[in-house]
């Protein structure tokens, strides 16, 4: 184990029954083939990518990053306290 992960609890020891009502971090992976692209005005090289992402109704997007083959969208569910 690396020196940064030595003090982290192992997943086998996590009691998920105590996590009820807490925010949950999740992700959706959207393949680039599902993404549409449109040019922005007449500026060369500028475009906008978009697609419908099936997020839960109360979710808030935390981060979105583009990889070689997909967009990875990280979001938080149960955001009543945020």
Taking only the tens place, the pLDDT of each residue in 3-28 is 555 555 555 665 656 666 677 788 88
Alpha carbon 8 to its chain's center: 22
| pLDDT at res. 80 | 56
| Model confidence band, residue 1 (pLDDT cutoffs 50, 70, 90) | very low
Residue 51 has pLDDT above 70, yes or no: yes
Q: Which of 16-20, 28-32, 40-44, 52-56 has the highest mean pLDDT?
A: 28-32
Distant-in-sequence, close-in-space partners of 19: CB < 8 Å, separation ≥ 6: none
The backbone region for 2, taken as left when phi is positive above 0, alpha when psi lies in -120 to 50, beta otherwise, is beta
- CA–CA gap between residue 28 and residue 34 (Å, rounded): 13
């Amino acid at each position: 184990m690396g020196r940064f992960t030595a003090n982290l609890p192992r997943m086998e020891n996590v009691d998920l029954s105590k996590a009820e009502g807490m925010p949950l971090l999740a992700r959706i992976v959207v393949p680039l083939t599902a993404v549409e692209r449109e040019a922005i005005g007449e500026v060369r090289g500028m475009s906008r990518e978009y697609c419908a992402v099936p997020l839960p109704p109360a979710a808030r997007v935390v981060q979105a990053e583009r990889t070689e083959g997909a967009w990875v969208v990280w979001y938080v569910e149960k955001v009543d306290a945020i």
